[in-house]
């Protein structure tokens, strides 16, 4: 992602986005660390639900809602 900042700056002009400084929006090192792990992660929501956290949103809805919000704020094309 070392070359992402100049490309992002170009995209902000091309698509009239609100933030040209990529470092204010993301931390590529963190994403690389999360997605580059050589292990699988399994999670279980049973304990959370037993403690009363019963509301949830499907993964697909979470992503589509997030990206719709980012587009409305003109942070992504």
Question: Tell me, what's the pLDDT at 30?
Answer: 82
Q: What is the 3-state secondary structure (H, E, C) of the chain?
A: CCCHHHHHHHHHHHHCCCCCCHHHCCCHHHHHHHHCCCCCCCCCCHHHHHCCCCCCCCHHHHHHHHHHHHHHCCCCC
From first to last of the 77 residues of the chain, give the pLDDT tens digit. 678 899 999 999 999 999 999 989 988 788 888 888 888 878 899 999 999 999 989 999 999 999 999 999 999 99
Question: Tell me, what's the pLDDT at 32?
Answer: 81
Report CA-CA distances (Å) from 35 to 3, 32, 38, 39, 73.
18, 5, 9, 10, 26
Residue 30 zone, left/alpha/beta (φ > 0; ψ -120 to 50; rest): alpha
Question: Tell me, what's the pLDDT at 3?
Answer: 83
């Amino acid at each position: 992602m070392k070359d992402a900042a100049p490309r992002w700056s170009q995209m902000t002009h091309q698509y009239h986005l609100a933030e040209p400084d990529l470092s204010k929006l993301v931390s590529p090192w963190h994403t690389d660390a999360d997605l580059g792990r050589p292990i699988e992660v399994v999670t279980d929501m049973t304990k959370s639900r037993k403690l009363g956290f019963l509301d949830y949103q499907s993964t697909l809805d979470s992503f589509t809602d997030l990206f719709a919000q980012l587009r409305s704020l003109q942070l992504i094309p």
